[in-house]
Amino acid sequence: MKNHFFPAWLSCLFFFTFFSLPALATASDPVTVVDSTGHTLTIEQHPNRIACLYAFCGHVIAMLDRGKDMVAIVNGLKKDRLLHKLIPHIKQVPVPARGGIISIEALLKTKPDIVFLKPETAAIQAEIKKLTRFNLPYFVAGYHCMEEQMGIIEMMGTVIGRKQKAFAYTRYYKSIIDRVKKKTSHIPENKRVRLYHSVNEPRRTDAPGTIEADWTNAAGVNNVSVGRSLQGKGNKNFADIEQILLWNPDVIIVNEDGVDQKILTDKKWSSIKAVQNTKVFAIPVGISRWGHPGGLETPLAILWTAKTVYPELFKEMDLKKEMVWFYKTFFNLNLDDDMINNILDNKGMRHHS
């Protein structure tokens, strides 16, 4: 029997889950959660007006059907073309924070019931004081691995009245990890594909203790930069070209449109096995870059990577069908063939400012 990579029992589970989802409750019991900084947030009712001062949080809110209720965002959310399709008014939503610094006057004008923050903003005490001074409830969404990311999404779903859908998403996420591991777990460590992951620019790559290190491991590859000494610049990590030449990866994946061609045509990279065998691939981009730290398509990134590097093991897995199901189920987006191909080809999915 062919393995279509999506078990019937899981389809039944999601049918039950989504057709039993309640509308957003107008009255609710108080909710208490503890964010990634240890800050306790208690809210008396689900928020109506939501400020997302972290792009990841905006993606979560959109996925959980509350995109129309975002009253403040960061500029990065205006770059994702599929978000414009999901939330047409996103072009007009105010941007009261740039570079992690909040303009409290601009934020107050949006009258948010809750503010979602990135860890870098929360690390600046002056920024937190701006919020506490005006009694603005806030939640910090920090994570370093897939398990922590799933926990943050579940907490956000609980806070905004979309708990069931948040938990349905994380069940799917875990099912993908399990399904891929069942196919790759028998591969000995010394036989695993050696992969280099370029993040935005050729020499920027994955450090240990990051979600990229976690999901590439889940895809069954040996990520050559993980566990190695890298040059840190802020929250970015870089490898010297000499080091990349020594790693000599079998496959290179990049998450920025055009970087694959830069690597393939740069003489400095020409002796690398992946370049010689033209195994340099642009990872797809949908709602956001698949597998990016702040993206929600990590389950699809795991599938795509596993299928790309181990084509024989995953030849019966239909990635396009999986994509159609994923975007319809979690984002209520109907993908046509052109959109599927644009996502897979990493072409024109982001507005460039």
For 102, residues 6+ apart whose C-beta sits below 8 A from its C-beta are 53, 96, 121, 127, 130, 131
pLDDT given for residue 352 in this prediction? 57
Same domain flag for 201 and 140: no
In a domain, 170, yes or no: no
* Predicted pLDDT of residue 20: 35
Which of 189, 167, 176 is CA-nearest to residue 291? 176
**pLDDT, averaged across the chain:** 89
- Residue 350 within a domain: no
- Are 161 and 213 members of one domain? no
> Do 205 and 151 have their domain in common?
no
Does residue 3 form part of some domain?
Answer: no
Residue 301, pLDDT score = 97
**144 & 226 share domain:** no
Is 53 part of any domain? yes
The answer to whether 75 and 90 are in contact (CB under 8 A) is no
Q: How far apart are CA 228 and CA 78, in angstroms?
A: 35
Mean pLDDT across the stretch 8-33? 49
Quote the CA–CA distance of 246 and 332 in Å, as a whole number. 45
DSSP letter string, 10-38: HHHHHHHHHHTPPPPPSS---EEEE-TTS
Phi, psi of 227 (to 5 degrees): 85, 5
Residue 239 lies in a domain: yes
Residues 233 and 159 in one domain: no
Q: Is the pLDDT of residue 6 over 50?
A: no
Do 201 and 243 fall within a single domain?
yes
Domain assignment present for 352: no
Closest alpha carbon to 137 in 106, 110, 115 = 115
Percent of the chain surpassing pLDDT 90: 77
Give the type of residue at 70. Answer: M
110/208 same-domain check: no
Find the mean pLDDT for residues 17-43: 70
pLDDT score at 7 = 40
351 domain residue, yes or no: no
Q: DSSP for 261-298, please give it.
A: HHHHH-GGGTTSHHHHTT-EEEPPBSSSBTT-TT-S-H
pTM for this structure? 0.88
Same domain membership, residue 158 and residue 37: yes
Q: Of 78, 125, 113, whose CA–CA distance to 98 is shortest? A: 78
User: Is residue 156 situated within a structural domain?
Assistant: yes
Q: Judge if 14 and 160 occupy the same domain.
A: yes
Q: Which whole number is the average pLDDT over 142-169?
A: 96
In this structure, what CATH number is given to the domain that contains residue 222?
3.40.50.1980
* Same-domain pairing of 151 and 16: yes
Where does residue 138 fall: left (phi above 0), alpha (psi -120 to 50 degrees), or beta otherwise?
Answer: beta
CA 18 centroid distance within chain:
22
Range of the domain at 39: 8-165
Q: Are residues 90 and 159 in the same domain?
A: yes
In this prediction, residues 266-271 reach a mean pLDDT of: 96
Please count the structural domains in the chain: 2
| Same domain membership, residue 336 and residue 201 | yes
SS3 93: coil
pLDDT at 100 over 90: no
